Copies of this chain bind each other. A is one copy, B any other.
Amino acid sequence: MADSGDHGVPKLQASIEALRAFAENFRWANVDLLAYKEEGSAPFAGITRQILFADPLLGCELRYFEIAPGGHSTLERHEHVHAVMILRGEGRCLLGGRVSVVGRHDLVHIPPMTWHQFRADAGQALGFLCMVNAKRDKPQLPSEAELAALRTDAAVAAFLDGHTR
């Protein structure tokens, strides 16, 4: 954002919560860079979280997650739905038994109780928006048997082993 110059349009102040400017390297004014989850609570690697909108008047929150090159989110499932738009970079996502390549502005809908995980490619970060209900259930991690069942698919096993393209 910048001063428009004409017509006395005021320059945005960082203190105005209503308008938060995009900054360098996918940060925003007045938005904290948070840990993805509590360390040790679940498996993940190289991922951060920023809460872009969390208004009690809205039924959902909008968050921005960024996975460092080669990193990944937790493999998990839950009753609540995720509505994802990729915002930066390229990577792959596991959705149920399927691995797909995802890139900028692609849309991913994660239905209830569907195993899912995002992985950034080795060479670049993967950033994405995620819309989610404000009230939601706790994610479940796969049991050894569930993980073994997922791994019977060669593409899924390669994905889970972090074989990047």
Instruction: Identify the A interface with B (CB < 8 A).
Output: 1-10, 12, 17-22, 26, 28, 31, 52-53, 55, 57-60, 62, 80-81, 83, 85-87, 92, 95, 98-112, 129, 131-134, 154-155, 158-159, 163, 165
Bound together, the chains give a CA A83 to CA B51 distance in angstroms of: 12
In the complex the two chains form, is A98's CB within 8 Å of B22's CB?
no
Q: How far is the CB of A53 from chain B (nearest CB, A)?
A: 4
**A165 CB contact (under 8 Å) in B6, B102, B106, B158:** B6
Question: Which residues of B are found within 8 Å of A62, using beta-carbon distances?
Answer: 83, 85, 131
Question: Which residues of B are found within 8 Å of A87, using beta-carbon distances?
Answer: 105
Q: How far is the CB of A21 from chain B (nearest CB, A)?
A: 5
In the complex the two chains form, is B28's CB within 8 Å of A55's CB?
no
Bound together, the chains give a CA A133 to CA B5 distance in angstroms of: 35
Chain B's closest residue to A108 (CB) is: B19
In the complex the two chains form, is A109's CB within 8 Å of B17's CB?
yes
Can you name 12 A-B pairs with beta carbons within 8 Å? A1-B100, A4-B92, A6-B163, A6-B165, A8-B155, A9-B100, A9-B158, A19-B108, A22-B104, A28-B105, A58-B60, A59-B134
* Most chain B CB atoms below 10 A, which of A6, A53, A104: A53
In the complex the two chains form, is A103's CB within 8 Å of B4's CB?
no
Bound together, the chains give a CA A46 to CA B21 distance in angstroms of: 25
In the complex the two chains form, is A105's CB within 8 Å of B59's CB?
no
**A107 CB contact (under 8 Å) in B28, B132, B133:** B28
